[in-house]
Structure formats: structure tokens, C-alpha cells
């Protein structure tokens, strides 16, 4: 489950980077004209907010499909509609409760992007930038969770975090009990 979530999160962050780039083009050169000199596959194309709106819709649908594909049964770590999940830690026989890290369009506040209306590209670009920051932070949390759950030596990780000034508060609940108990 965690591996699938990490892989999906990677794809979602990449999609958001592409979306940010496309909306940036729309905000700077949203007029339909040949002077923009945007080439795709060696052929001249015209740029418009309407074309980029269609591209954005496709990317957002792909993000939601990646989130849906990362589900195992009814459990989905990346969905804003999921409740907390209990993950079995095979290394110590315990379990941890994990809050979802929503990376779907609802969880990233990217529903109803509209580049066509007045100020739409600026609003969309602002929302996408915030979503990208949130997605990168959530990706880091999922990746760290995967390391903790699959790590051979939680003791080394604990010592490293304490030594670097983070303390035990950044470790998942139960880590010290598993190490010491």
C-alpha cells in the first residue's frame, strides 16, 4: 500500500509541475495568435486559455485516477474522502494509525479551476502553487512513513532524529515502544 501511495504521489507531483507550467503559459500568452511561436511536434500551434483549460482538466483527471489506483479495497492513503488508516508494522508486530495525506483534486483544492473567466489564470496559478507545496509535503510524509514501516533499524533512525534536534515528536507514535519494548 505504501509503495503504491509513494509511486502515485510521485506522479501527482509531476503532473502538478506540468500543470503549473501550462497555466503559466496561459497567464503570460493566453491570446490566440501565431506570434507565440509555441511548437508541438515541430508544428506551429496556437495558445489559448481554452486549450490550456482542456489540458488542465485532463491532468486533474489523471491525478484523481492515480489516487483511485493507489487504493487497496476501501483504504486509500491519498484520498480526501478516507478516514484514518491502521497499518500493521510487520517488524515489531504492532500497528500505527495514519491520517490520509489527500492528493486528489478535492484535497489539493483544485476542483473547479477556471482559466476562462476574468482573473482565472491568476487564481488557478496561485491555487496550483499552493497545491504543489502541499503535495510535496504530503509526499515527504508518505515517503517517511514508508521508511519507518519498512526500515530494518528504527533505533538508528531515532538516534539520527534526536541527534539532529528534531526530537522524538517527529517519530510516529509507538516507535519508542517498539524499539525499547
pLDDT averaged per 10 residues in sequence order, the chain, 181 residues: 86 91 75 49 63 88 93 89 82 79 94 85 92 95 83 50 47 46 38
Q: What's the topology of domain 2-150?
A: f41 fragment of flagellin, N-terminal domain (1.20.1330)
Helix axes of 120-150 and 2-28: crossing angle, nearest 10 degrees: 160
> Which residue, 137, 132, 135, is CA-closest to 18?
132
Domain boundaries defined on the chain: 2-150, 154-181
> Which residue, 13, 21, 128, 149, is CA-closest to 78?
13
Full-prediction pTM beyond 0.75? Answer: no
Residue 75 DSSP symbol: B
Query: How confident is the model at residue 40, as a pLDDT?
Result: 57
User: Can you tell me the distance from the alpha carbon of 3 to that of 69, in angstroms, rounded to the nearest whole number?
Assistant: 12
Query: How confident is the model at residue 41, as a pLDDT?
Result: 60
Query: How confident is the model at residue 169, as a pLDDT?
Result: 47
Which residue bears the cell 533505533? 155
Q: Cell triple for residue 128? A: 496550483
Burial track 16-50 (b if 16+ CB lie within 10 A, e otherwise): beebbebbbbbbebbeeeeebeeeeeeeeeebbbe
Q: For 26-74, how does the pLDDT look when each residue is reduced to its tens digit (9 = 90+)?
A: 777 655 444 445 555 655 555 667 788 888 899 999 999 999 999 988 8
User: Can you tell me the distance from the alpha carbon of 22 to that of 36, in angstroms, rounded to the nearest whole number?
Assistant: 14
Amino acid at each position: 500500500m505504501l509503495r503504491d501511495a509513494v509511486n502515485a504521489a510521485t506522479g501527482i507531483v509531476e503532473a502538478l509541475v506540468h500543470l503549473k507550467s501550462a497555466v503559466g503559459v496561459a497567464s503570460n500568452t493566453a491570446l490566440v495568435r501565431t506570434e507565440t511561436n509555441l511548437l508541438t511536434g515541430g508544428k506551429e500551434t496556437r495558445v489559448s486559455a481554452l486549450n490550456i483549460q482542456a489540458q488542465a482538466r485532463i491532468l486533474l483527471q489523471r491525478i484523481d485516477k492515480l489516487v483511485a489506483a493507489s487504493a487497496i479495497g476501501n483504504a486509500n492513503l491519498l484520498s480526501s474522502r478516507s478516514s484514518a488508516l491502521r497499518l500493521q508494522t510487520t517488524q515489531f508486530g504492532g500497528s500505527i494509525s495514519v491520517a490520509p495525506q489527500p492528493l486528489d483534486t478535492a484535497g489539493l483544492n483544485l476542483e473547479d479551476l477556471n482559466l476562462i473567466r476574468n482573473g482565472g489564470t491568476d487564481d488557478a496559478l496561485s491555487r496550483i502553487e499552493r497545491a504543489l507545496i502541499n503535495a510535496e509535503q504530503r509526499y515527504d510524509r508518505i515517503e517517511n512513513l514508508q521508511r519507518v514501516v519498512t526500515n530494518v533499524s528504527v533505533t538508528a533512525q531515532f538516534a539520527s532524529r534526536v541527534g539532529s534536534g528534531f526530537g522524538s515528536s517527529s517519530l510516529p507514535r509507538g516507535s519508542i515502544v517498539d524499539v525499547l519494548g
